[in-house]
Structures are given as structure tokens and as C-alpha cells.
């Protein structure tokens, strides 16, 4: 996992900027957040793309484009459930 740390650091930084821009927050549970980011980093290293770790990669590039984080489903999931399926992004408390 140590070899994933530079990738994880870059992902954390970019995902944090994205969440801030969109009005979301990253998972406040640091342990869970690191697990999701580690899954993204492993997928990026293995597949060349940061596929959501909670989704199944089909091997069909066109279909799998939908599950590159932030996936096409995350905004609707956050709106209806308060977080995306991976529990990476959360709705900000008001």
C-alpha cells in the first residue's frame, strides 16, 4: 500500500477541491475516506482510471466510463441519500 500513497495524496487533493467546488464534503470518517481513496488508487494503478471501488468494472470502456470517479451517479445519490454509494462524498449539513 505504501506505493499507492503518492497516488492517494493526489486523489485526496483533487477530490477535496472537487467536493468544495460542488458544495459537498468528503467522508468525515478518516478511516473510511482512506479506504475509498485507496480503492480508487488501486483501480487507477491497475486499470489506468480511477473507477469507483463500489462499482463493478465490466471491461466495456464505454459503459465503464460512467463509473470513473466522480461517477455519473454521485450527484443524484447525494441528493437522495445524503452520500454517494461509495460514501466518498456527503451532502453538507446546513
Domains of the chain, residue spans: 2-91
1 pLDDT exceeds 70? no
pLDDT at residue number 94: 60
78 pLDDT exceeds 70? yes
pLDDT at residue number 3: 87
pLDDT tens readout for residues 61-74: 999 999 999 999 99
**pLDDT more than 90, % of the chain:** 94
90 contacts 25 by C-beta, under 8 angstroms: yes
88 contacts 30 by C-beta, under 8 angstroms: no
2 pLDDT exceeds 80? no
pLDDT at residue number 60: 97
CATH T-level fold of 2-91 = Ferredoxin Thioredoxin Reductase (3.90.460)
Amino acid at each position: 500500500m505504501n506505493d499507492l500513497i503518492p497516488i492517494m495524496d493526489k486523489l485526496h487533493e483533487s477530490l477535496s477541491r472537487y467536493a468544495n467546488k460542488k458544495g459537498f464534503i468528503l467522508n468525515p470518517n478518516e478511516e473510511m475516506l482512506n479506504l475509498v481513496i485507496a480503492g480508487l488508487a488501486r483501480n487507477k494503478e491497475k486499470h489506468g482510471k480511477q473507477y469507483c471501488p463500489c462499482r463493478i468494472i465490466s471491461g466495456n470502456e464505454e459503459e465503464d466510463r460512467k463509473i470513473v470517479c466522480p461517477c455519473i451517479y454521485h450527484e443524484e445519490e447525494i441528493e437522495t441519500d445524503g452520500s454517494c454509494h461509495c460514501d466518498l462524498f456527503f451532502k453538507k449539513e446546513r
